[in-house]
Amino acid sequence: MYVVKAPFRADQVGSILRTEAIKQARLDKASGKITDTELRAIEDREIKYIVEKQKEAGLKAVTDGEFRRAWWHFDFLEGLEGVEGYDADTGIQFANVQTKTHSVKIVAPIRFENHPMLADYRFLHSIAGDDVVAKMTIPSPAMLHYRGDIEYAPYISDKSLFLKDLATAYKKAIQAFYEEGCRYLQLDDTSWSYLCSDEQREVVRSRGFDPDELQTVYKNLINEAISEKPADMVITMHICRGNFRSTWIASGGYEPVAETLFGGLNIDGFFLEYDNDRSGDFAPLRYVKRPDLKIILGLVTSKNGVLEDSDAIKERIQEASEIVPLSQLCLSPQCGFASTEEGNVLTEAEQWAKLAHVVSIANDVWNEQ
C-alpha cells in the first residue's frame, strides 16, 4: 500500500462517469438478458479499467467509481438492516431538474450486518496494487437521518434510540471496512451545505427540524459514529451542494456551519466545494484550528469539461493559504463526476483530463511528486 498518508495533495471525491459497457449491462440486466453474475463480471472488468485510468492520471487514491451503484447514498443505506428503498411520489429537486423517484425508509432496527459493499471494497482493494490507496466512499450517517422516512414505531417515539442505533451501525461499518484493508474512508454529506442555504434552511424547517439544532445533532451523531476509528485509518468528509446531471441544489458559503464543522467534527479532512460563487469565500476557514486537519479545496469543477486556468487555481490556493497553512491544503475536483448513474454533462476524455489537471497543478504547488 502507498505509504504517504491520505488525503493526498491531488485527490478526488470518487464517482466516475459510467462507461458505455456499464450502461448497456444495466439495461440488459433490467430486461433480463443477463444475470446478476454476468453483470458483476462486467462491472469487475470496467472497474479494473478505470482504476488503471486513475493511476494514469497520477492519482494516489483510487476508487471503484461507484460503478456498482445507482445513487451515491441510497445503495449503501438500503444495505443496512432495517432500511428499505421505495418509489417515492417525487424525485429530489435540483436546479430545473428532478432525479428519479426513489427514497428510503426505516422499517426495523438499524443494523450493519453482511453489507454487500464489503465485497465491493474487497474487490477494489484486491486490484488497486501497492502504489496507490483504495478509497471507499459511503454516505454520512446524517444522510439517513435527513433523507430517511421513519416508519419503525420505537424510533418515532424515541429519536435518541434511532440516533444511537445509527451511530452503532456506522461503528460496525467502519470496523468491517477496516478489516477488509480499508485505510481511507470518505463520508459524503449534503446536509451541511443545506444548512448554509437560506432556501434549504426553510426546507429543513418544513421537515420539522431547527437548522441550528440540527448542526449539533449531526455533529454528535458523526463524532459518535467515528469514535472507535482505528488510529491508522483516515476518515474524510465531502460537503456537497448537490450534483446531478451537472446541476445543483444549495447555494451559500460555509459561514453558518463553519465553527461546528471545522471546530467540532473529529474528521481528518474536508473536501469542500469552491468551484463557483455559490460556494462563498475562504473566510469560514478561519475556524480551522487543528494543525492536523486537512482541507481539500474543490477548485476544479466536475460539472463541465472546460479546463480551468492553472494560474487562476494556483492564485486561489495561495489565497486560501493565507488562512490555513499550505501544508494543510490539498486540491481536488469539487465533486465526483457521477453522483448518480446518469452522470454529469461532460465526456469521459474530459473527465480524465480534469483529474490529470488536478495532479499537474498540485505537483506544481507542493512539489511533492
Q: pLDDT band at 2, cuts 50/70/90?
A: very low
The residues that bridge with 247 in the sheet, in sequence order, are 244
pLDDT at residue 16 in the model: 95
Query: For residues 229 and 327, is the Cβ–Cβ distance under 8 A?
Result: no
* Burial class of residue 240, CB neighbours in 10 A (0-12, 13-18, 19+): buried
Q: Which residues of 42-70 are buried (b: 16+ CB within 10 A; e: fewer)?
A: bbeebbeebbebbeebbbbbbbbbbbbbe
Position 82 pLDDT exceeds 90: yes
pLDDT at residue 62 in the model: 98
CA 132/CA 288 separation, integer angstroms? 28
Place of cell 458483476: 40
Q: What's the one-letter identity of residue 76?
A: F
The tens digit of pLDDT for each residue in 135-177 reads: 999 999 999 998 888 999 999 999 999 999 999 999 999 999 9
Q: What's the one-letter identity of residue 148?
A: G
pLDDT at residue 125 in the model: 98
Domain 54-366 coded CATH 3.40.50.2300: no
User: Cell numbers at residue 306, please?
Assistant: 472546460
Q: pLDDT band at 3, cuts 50/70/90?
A: very low
pTM for this structure?
0.92
Residue ranges covered by each domain of the chain: 54-366
* Burial class of residue 348, CB neighbours in 10 A (0-12, 13-18, 19+): middle
The residues that bridge with 136 in the sheet, in sequence order, are 185
pLDDT at residue 228 in the model: 98
CA 145/CA 105 separation, integer angstroms? 10
Query: For residues 251 and 240, is the Cβ–Cβ distance under 8 A?
Result: no
pLDDT at residue 333 in the model: 96
